[in-house]
Amino acid sequence: MKTEDLIAALALEPDFPGPRPCRRRIALWSGAGALVAAAVTLWVMGPRLDLGELAGQASFAGKAGYTLALAVAGFWLLDRLGRPGAQAKPPALALALLLLSGLIATVIELAMTPAAGRLNQLMGGSALICPVAILGLGLLILLPTLWATRVMAPVRPALAGGAVGLLAGGLSATAYGLHCSETAVSFLVVWYGLGVALVGLVGAALGSRLLRW
């Protein structure tokens, strides 16, 4: 179905929800999933021993800020991709700038680290665990958010599913940060980023089927 035909069909549908109800629905279900993911993190994995001391520090706030920014970019992108005719370039550009800033920060950090310590800086102590944990937690958010997204009308369901995955991945990475003690920017950008990307790929695969009109 062409975009113009879909817009015309939706305009004739009196019960089709507008943008605000859709945003509230997605925010509600993704937020509920994020609370579950945080609870699982604290209960199963356990909180960082220094979590109370770190809550107000710049390194902890910066890590949470980056992952939450990824989630916000996913929400914004989903809002545009889920509405036929809406312009998706602004959120896509914002996401590209966010990823570019993370890449630049990684290069700067590694350049300032002695060559002998760069690999340890990048790998930390949990590089292989981090992406898998974020993926597992992300599924707790991805599935209900995909269900909530079915009220929308994405023309490109795989891309919309990927945006759901980005939203879920950013939230699950934030939840995982309550447990993870890694503080290096390079670790955050590479391994947290890989975990978020995995959730995005699962979201795209599921969205291509579940969000199809």
Q: Is residue 4 assigned to a domain? A: no
> What does the CA dihedral 108, 113, 119, 125 come to, rounded to 10 degrees?
-100
Q: Is residue 10 assigned to a domain? A: no
Residue span of the structural domain in which 174 resides: 18-210
Local confidence pLDDT in tens for the 213 residues of the chain: 454 554 444 444 444 456 678 889 999 999 999 999 999 999 999 987 766 665 556 677 888 999 999 999 999 999 999 888 788 999 999 999 999 999 999 999 999 999 999 999 999 999 999 999 999 999 999 999 999 998 888 889 999 999 999 999 999 999 999 999 898 999 999 999 999 999 999 999 999 999 987
Q: Is residue 1 assigned to a domain? A: no
Total count of domains within the chain = 1
Q: Is residue 12 assigned to a domain? A: no
Q: Is residue 161 assigned to a domain? A: yes
Q: Is residue 132 assigned to a domain? A: yes
Q: Is residue 31 assigned to a domain? A: yes
Q: Is residue 54 assigned to a domain? A: yes
